[in-house]
Amino acid sequence: MSSAQMISSSSNSNCCVDNCNGDVSWPEPPKLTPSASLKTKKKPTPALSISRAGGEVDELVTLLHGSDPLRVELSRLENEVRDKERNLGDAYAEIKALKYSERLKEKAVEELSDELKKIDDKLKATEALLESKNLEVRKINEEKKTALAAQFAAEATLRRVHAGQKDDEMPPIEAIITPLEAELKLARLEVAKLQDDNRALDRLTKSKEAALLEAERTVQMALAKASLVDDLQNKNQDLMKQIEICQEENRILDKMHRQKVSEVEKLMQTVHELEEAVLAGGAAANAVRDYQRKMQELNEEKRILDRELARAKISANRVAVVVANEWKDSNDKVMPVKQWLEERRLLQACDVFRLIFYVSSMYTCLFP
């Protein structure tokens, strides 16, 4: 809205019509004076430019339009920037938490890999021990078979000896049996020892099988944890992509914020120009109101003069009627009528001169 439109709207709203005389009367409104913020306007510091700008924009826009769309837009943009900063802070906190969890997962993976290596080493050692024990068991079984074969051979020889003893003269049986019985006892002792060793190997084999089953369970758990770690890494990559998207949005918002700040600076410049225009318009409005007040005074004087002129005309008409009635029946009645007409013309000329003087004085007051 320009200053001329403001002045015209204020003049249209303040003028009123006198129904009796048809004259325009101008009530005297209060003079426009610049506000304290406009009188004491200084260059705002960079730290307080936004707050002062908001106050000045609020005052000027409220003065001009009665509303504050610029302040609403600025508050909306500030709220959006605060929301984006809050979202960015949440994203950074989530990034830190994810990095910390990723470090913990890496440590857990390293520990699991170390434990898996140890289990593999133990498994290899147990497999080697099991192979050696299997070889020993095979050797013991072979020795057992050889001992049984020797026992059977000894028994066969004893039978042959008993069968041939009847026919031939031979040494006593006790001399032959005693060393064989001693060897048989030794062979039985070795067989018992081998059986004990076999039982111990069976127990060791069962324990090793249980350890192998436990190792397989541990390996399966490690594989499950590794798959979980892979899933978490995939999620982490997705979150990193989302973080990049948020950072790109933040860059775009920063760019928009800079653009809005530049627009606000331009609007501040226009606000300063409008303030100067308002100051100039206020001076013009004060001058117009002075002229309106002078016109009102002149209208009042005109009304007074019109009333006096009407009264003078009425009195002149009455005097003319009286004089005409006095000279009506006389012989010289034509002469007083002419004299009365001349006097009336003189009075009318005086009234005309007085009206011309009034109009000229009004013109000089309005247009000096």
Rounded to whole angstroms, how far apart are CA atoms 102 and 231? 12
With a cut of 80, say whether residue 38 has pLDDT above it: no
**Which tokens sit at 334?**
């034509």
Residue 16: beta bridge partners?
Answer: 25
Please compute the mean of the pLDDT values over residues 116-125 and round it to a whole number: 81
With a cut of 50, say whether residue 258 has pLDDT above it: yes
Classify domain 83-255 at the CATH topology level: Helix Hairpins (1.10.287)
Rounded to whole angstroms, how far apart are CA atoms 183 and 300? 164
With a cut of 50, say whether residue 334 has pLDDT above it: no
Contact between 102 and 236 under an 8 Å Cβ cutoff? The reply is: yes
Q: Which of 115, 114, 140 is nearest to 198 (CA)?
A: 140
| Res 11: pLDDT | 42
pLDDT tens sequence across 64-118: 444 567 778 888 888 888 888 888 888 888 888 888 888 888 888 888 788 878 8
Stretch among 47-51, 154-158, 213-217, 299-303 having the lowest mean pLDDT: 47-51
Q: HEC string of 281-310?
A: HHHHHHHHHHHHHHHHHHHHHHHHHHHHHH
Rounded to whole angstroms, how far apart are CA atoms 167 and 165? 5
pTM of the model: 0.30
Domain ranges across the chain: 83-255
